[in-house]
């Protein structure tokens, strides 16, 4: 059960930071996995234990000394249920060039050495072809440990050019046939995660793209498991989120029809009316996508994985790795630079956060669990809430304190102001604080910059 107060009541993604000591507070040590906390409370101890045991196998490296990162050793061939599940498997990953997708790909290649191939669905972007994009991905420090331990890993990664926002995923007939003939496991990680994404784009990627992938999976005779990565905030209009499906704001077919039949200006006008209780197009389309999984994917060996706020890696393959400034990371940087000094937030609310590497380990285990459940659950689609608030919660106020404490110990090199953050529980107070703490100092600094012949920039930022 994930508490959603922070999103629906102005708590927002406000004061997170990738701090090692903070990670220890919000990351479970004594519990193998939070994904099945609802299963344990329902009495499904056997199934919960199966997944927890499998998860423990994959996350044992998390607690290993960091010296193992610096001195890689030859992987040990341990015969575990999950390793056997991935032995000789062909895995399709969408969204493999994104934050979570890269960690997932690295984890599979490093921890499942007998995996046959990873098929990576990649689109052209910003004038770069798919080969250039993949080359840039593997130049990331995230893959340094893998390069040291498994020199031939690159040969296992096969690139499929496609686009989740296009009909048929933008696949060529030949690439589609390759997927149909070979794929055993699918991880659908691709999504637009921008909260302010325009509705047509969010629907095309998050809803229509999901439907297209499910239809493709039906043509794959070898398919053993399909994992749809959603978010714990897909139904953040509810106070508690259990591991079950909820009614969507609108069906997938209907929202696709609406988007295809109306022009962009009209859609922009009616978007607030469509969203209703959902705070943004991201959560809205993710809720619809889950219902698409329930209806379109009901005859597939499929499950839904719902992580909460994903932070940097805790330990694997290196501690503290992240590649973006989305959500909490951007806020942390702004606070550390002294540019963000007040926020509309209630420090008593729980901030549900999980490290990316631990979430990915649970994601890898969930595919195996889906196959296990398929044999005995009579077609029930499993849902995994990977959250920390069930058993190891941390409040936003506590996290703010740790952020500031650590910022004083290890300050940013280019800070423009003293690190501090004032909580504003009420919106009108936030407006007052922002005027005196943000806007007026920014004006003063820009005036000085202008006088020095430099470009003013702090008011805009």
Has residue 383 got a pLDDT over 90? yes
DSSP letter for 319, please.
T
pLDDT at residue 155 in the model: 95
Instruction: Using pLDDT thresholds of 50, 70 and 90, give the confidence band for residue 403.
Output: confident
Look at residue 67 and tell me whether its pLDDT is greater than 70. no
Residue pair 39/1 in contact (Cβ under 8 Å)? The answer is no
User: What's the average model confidence in pLDDT over 56-82?
Assistant: 48
Instruction: Give the pLDDT score at 453.
Output: 87
Does position 34 have pLDDT exceeding 70, yes or no?
Answer: no
Assess if residue 328 is contained within a domain.
Answer: no
Q: How confident is the model at residue 174 (pLDDT cuts 50, 70, 90)?
A: very high
The whole-number pLDDT of residue 116 equals: 97
Which tokens is 294 given?
Answer: 């329930």
pLDDT band at 86 (very low <50, low <70, confident <90, very high): very high
The span from the CA of 399 to the CA of 346, in Å, is 12
Between 127 and 190, whose confidence is greater? 190
Which residue did the predictor score with more confidence, 130 or 52? 130
- What average pLDDT does range 94-108 have in this prediction? 97
Average pLDDT for 337-349: 89
Does residue 373 carry a pLDDT above 80? Answer: yes
In a domain, 421, yes or no: no
| Residues contacting 93, CB < 8 A, separation 6+ | 101, 104, 105, 118, 119, 120, 121, 186, 187, 189
Is 364 a domain residue? yes
Q: For CA atoms 297, 171, 155, 181, give the dihedral sign.
A: positive
Considering 316-330, 348-362, 407-421, 442-456, the range whose residues carry the highest mean pLDDT is: 348-362
Using 50, 70 and 90 to split pLDDT, how confident is the model at 228? very high
Please tell me which residue, 461 or 446, carries the higher pLDDT value.
446
Q: Please give the pLDDT value at position 64.
A: 37
Confidence of residue 81 (pLDDT cuts 50, 70, 90): very high
169 has a pLDDT exceeding 90: yes
- DSSP bridge partners of 385: 306
Mean pLDDT, rounded, for 418-427:
89
Number of domains forming the structure of the chain:
1
Give pLDDT, residue 161.
Answer: 97
Res 20: pLDDT: 29
Question: Element (H or E) spanning 2, and its range?
Answer: strand 2-3
CA–CA gap between residue 359 and residue 147 (Å, rounded): 22
Residue 447 within a domain:
no
- Asked if the structure places residue 283 within a domain, the reply is yes
Q: Flag whether pLDDT at 357 surpasses 80.
A: yes
Domain CATH number, residue 109: 3.40.50.720
Q: What is the dihedral of CA 36, 38, 44, 50, to 10 degrees?
A: 0
260 confidence band (pLDDT: 50, 70, 90)? very high
Whether residue 190 has pLDDT greater than 50? yes
pLDDT class for 157, splitting at 50, 70, 90? very high
Range 422-427 contact pairs with CB under 8 angstroms and sequence separation of 24 or more: 422/341, 422/342, 422/343, 423/342, 423/343, 423/345, 423/346, 423/347, 423/397, 424/342, 424/343, 424/344, 424/345, 425/344, 425/345, 425/346, 426/344, 427/10, 427/344
Asked if residue 36 has pLDDT above 50, the reply is no
Residue 406 domain flag: no
In a domain, 220, yes or no: yes
- The yes-or-no verdict on residue 61 having pLDDT over 80 is no
208 within some domain: yes
The conformational region for residue 103 under phi > 0 = left, psi -120 to 50 = alpha, else beta, is: alpha
Rounded distance between C-alpha atoms, residue 234 and residue 227, angstroms: 16
Please give the mean pLDDT across all residues of the chain.
84
What is the per-residue pLDDT across 6-23, written as a single tens digit (0 to 9) for each? Answer: 333 333 332 222 222 322
Neighbouring-strand partners of residue 188: 94, 228
Residues 206, 187: contact at Cβ < 8 Å? no
Expressed as residue numbers, the domain containing 251 is: 2-322+346-400
DSSP, collapsed to helix, strand or coil, labels residue 132 as helix
Stated as kind and residue range, the H or E segment containing 377 is none
State pLDDT tens for residues 208-226: 999 999 999 999 999 999 9
Q: What is the SS3 assignment for 38?
A: helix
Quickly state the pLDDT bin for 279 (edges 50, 70, 90): very high
């Amino acid at each position: 059960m994930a508490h959603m107060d922070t999103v629906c009541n102005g708590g927002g993604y406000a004061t997170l930071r990738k701090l090692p000591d903070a990670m220890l507070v919000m990351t479970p040590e004594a519990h193998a996995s939070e994904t099945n906390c609802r299963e344990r409370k329902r009495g499904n101890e056997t199934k919960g234990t199966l997944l927890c045991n499998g998860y423990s196998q994959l996350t044992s490296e998390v607690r290993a000394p960091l010296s193992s990162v610096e001195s890689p050793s030859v992987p040990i061939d341990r015969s575990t249920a999950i390793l056997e599940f991935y032995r000789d498997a062909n895995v399709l990953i969408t969204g493999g060039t994104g934050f979570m997708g890269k960690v997932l790909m690295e984890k599979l290649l490093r921890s499942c050495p007998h995996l046959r191939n990873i098929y990576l669905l990649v689109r052209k972007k910003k004038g770069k072809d798919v080969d250039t994009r993949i080359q840039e991905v593997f130049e990331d420090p995230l893959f340094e440990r893998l390069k040291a331990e498994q020199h031939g890993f690159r040969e296992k990664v096969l690139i499929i050019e496609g686009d989740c926002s296009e009909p048929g995923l933008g696949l060529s007939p030949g690439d589609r046939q390759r997927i149909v003939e070979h794929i055993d496991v699918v991880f659908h990680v691709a999504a637009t995660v921008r909260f302010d994404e325009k509705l047509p784009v969010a629907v095309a990627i998050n809803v229509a793209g999901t439907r297209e992938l499910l239809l493709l999976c039906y043509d794959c005779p070898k398919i053993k498991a399909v994992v749809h990565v959603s978010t714990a905030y897909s139904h953040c209009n509810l106070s508690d989120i259990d591991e079950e499906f909820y009614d969507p704001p609108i069906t997938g077919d209907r929202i696709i029809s609406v988007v295809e039949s109306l022009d962009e200006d009209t859609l922009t006008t009616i978007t607030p009316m469509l969203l209703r209780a959902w705070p943004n197009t991201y959560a809205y389309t993710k809720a619809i996508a889950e219902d698409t999984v329930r209806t379109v994917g009901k005859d597939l060996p499929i499950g839904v994985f719902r992580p909460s706020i994903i932070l940097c890696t805790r330990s694997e393959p290196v501690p503290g790795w992240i590649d973006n400034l989305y959500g909490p990371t951007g806020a942390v940087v702004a606070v550390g630079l002294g540019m963000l000094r007040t926020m509309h937030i209630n420090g008593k609310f729980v901030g549900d956060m999980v490290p990316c590497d631990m979430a990915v380990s649970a994601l890898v285990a969930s595919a195996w669990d889906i196959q296990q459940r398929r044999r005995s659950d009579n077609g029930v689609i499993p849902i995994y809430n990977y959250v920390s608030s069930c058993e190891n919660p941390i409040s936003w106020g506590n996290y703010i304190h740790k952020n500031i404490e650590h910022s004083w110990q290890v300050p940013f090199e280019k800070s423009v102001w003293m690190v501090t953050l004032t909580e504003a529980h009420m919106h009108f107070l936030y407006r007052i604080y922002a005027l005196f703490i943000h806007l007026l100092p920014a004006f003063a600094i820009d005036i000085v910059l202008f006088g020095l012949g430099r470009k003013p920039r702090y008011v805009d930022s």
